[in-house]
Structure 1
Amino acid sequence: MSTELTTNATSASGARNQAIGRFLSRYGILLSFIILFVILSFAHPNFLSTANLLNVLRQVSINGILAIGMTFVILTGGIDLSIGSVLAITGVVAGSLVTGGDPYNPAIAFFAAVGVGALFGAVNGTLIARFSVPAFVVTLGMLSMARGATLLYSNGRPIPNLSPEFRWLGQGFVAGIPVPVIIFAIVFVAAWITLRYTVYGRWVYAVGGNVKSAKTSGIPTRTVIFSVYLLMGALAGLSGMILTARTTSALPQAGLGYELDAIAAVVIGGTSLTGGVGSVVYTLIGALIIGVISNGLDLMGVSSYYQQIIKGAIIVVAVLIDRSRNMNP
């Protein structure tokens, strides 16, 4: 009888621990964000001000758009280290079209930025999908090439005097909501619907889960892999256009380290680096966590050097959690 009671107690305890583990696996990132938000609310009186929260959302929108594209890439088991440099080249291209005495319509700059970004993404995707070159190697090389192209195009100098209509895309408001936040929301909803309800979304997960099985099932794996890098490049171009409009000048050094913030948001959000598991919803929360941490540390006067250390530590911890989850499903 004693042995039976002990066994039952052990089984009940094990079931309870599994339930807690499943709950934390599903909602842990959201709970972390809520706890962080509450702590910063008490840590600084200006954190909850409307102006500051809108500023956080405006800052998060750029990294959030990049992180959504990175989610698609990582879901297929890939990585893109070039997005910061692609953001820079698309920013100076867009800026060059809307400066001077006779600037182009902002819509032309918008499509030029997205198109140039998509072109860089297409090159990455072709080399990775068609020629099977490792994504790390291809995108690391593109990081350098795109940055060099940025410096050549701009002669290493900022491009100022952007038209007011173009600057509105980064600084304007619609019904009290910053325009970059509205653009980010549109991108997020489109990505969520794509991954959750479309055949293409299921293909992305399948390729990341097991590319050989996906190919055997008739999924055009090369096309899917190519497409996620194309999408990533286009979204990097969109982010470059928004950043240029927000900073009122096209800076050739823009985007440095942005790829790390995007990867951090995706990994913190629980997307597996091995592919096949993840969600743009949790990527959104991951981007918000990165943004809130950066904003809170800025308000408290913490040096940007320390902020880089903290972000790096967060990435390492998130990867360790991901590895633990894969080892103990």
Structure 2
Amino acid sequence: MPEVTGPLIVGISTRALFDLREEHSVFEEQGVEAYAALQREREQVVLPKGTGFDVVDRLLGLNPAEGPPLVQVVLISRNSPDLSLRAFHSIAEYGLGIKHGSFVSGRPAGPLVQAWSVDLFLSNEEGDVRMAADAGTAAARLHPPPERAALAPEDEVRIAFDGDAVLFDAASDEIYKAHGLDAFLAHERANAHVPMNRGPFGHFLRKLAAVRGQVMRDDGSSRVRLALVTARNAPAHERVVLTFREWGTPFDEAHFVGHHIKAPFVEAFGAHIFFDDQEKHVLGARGVAPAGHVPGPHAPDELIVPAAK
């Protein structure tokens, strides 16, 4: 694989970084003028933290005190430049190292993801997330923040992923959907030593793994902790482990949960964010961790569980 160069770049919308549910309800019910007036009135009032705040804060905390940054964060917002003042005032008050942003006055923010060379895009806006994903960027639509934050060392960030159609492509899922469980298991056993193709979050994982390797502790652990939480179980687990080995992207934890609910494993891991392409898993996990839905091939009411009971 080619060497990973440059910092990990995260793009995030204003509503994903901060909790703007009250202001957004004014926008939806009273229109843009009332929304703008409210934002100007509260220009010096610090915005509360949103779903993506903690993971962004922790990723930025990986940067060294001197030298090139490992992580950069860019604000990509549908707000107007005039209303950007409150966002950057809040960023300064929280001490976040965010200096760059784009504000497009209501236009779709998706095209700016490519302009900023973003590796991961987080937003509440479905259209922007899909536009970014269609262009090949790892992207997720965030749900409202959980009521309680994960407990973890302050200098550590923990990220949990689903596997198929997120880290890996959806080829194996499609075999399961078209031909059933027995065909899926036979295919995975026969191809156990054939690495899977990278999915929508594959490039992001490569860059995140590069950052992970640069923030190792003396005891051999990393300040970036990664977990896989997948509905696969044995014997389909072997191909997953060997794929990660081939990719050179080590994981700290892997949970092959089959038909078990994913949320308890996400909570036990202490995830600062969890990514899944199936809406039902995201809805289940959002009460215990920040959760993002990755656009994928499955209908919202469809649950794909490629595992025997």
Q: TM range, normalised to the smaller chain?
A: under 0.3
Identify, as 1 or 2, the structure richer in helix.
Answer: 1
Say which structure, 1 or 2, has more relative contact order (CA 8 Å, 6+ apart). 1
Bigger Rg over Cα? 1
Compute the TM-score of the two structures, normalised by the length of structure 1. 0.26
Compute the TM-score of the two structures, normalised by the length of structure 2. 0.27
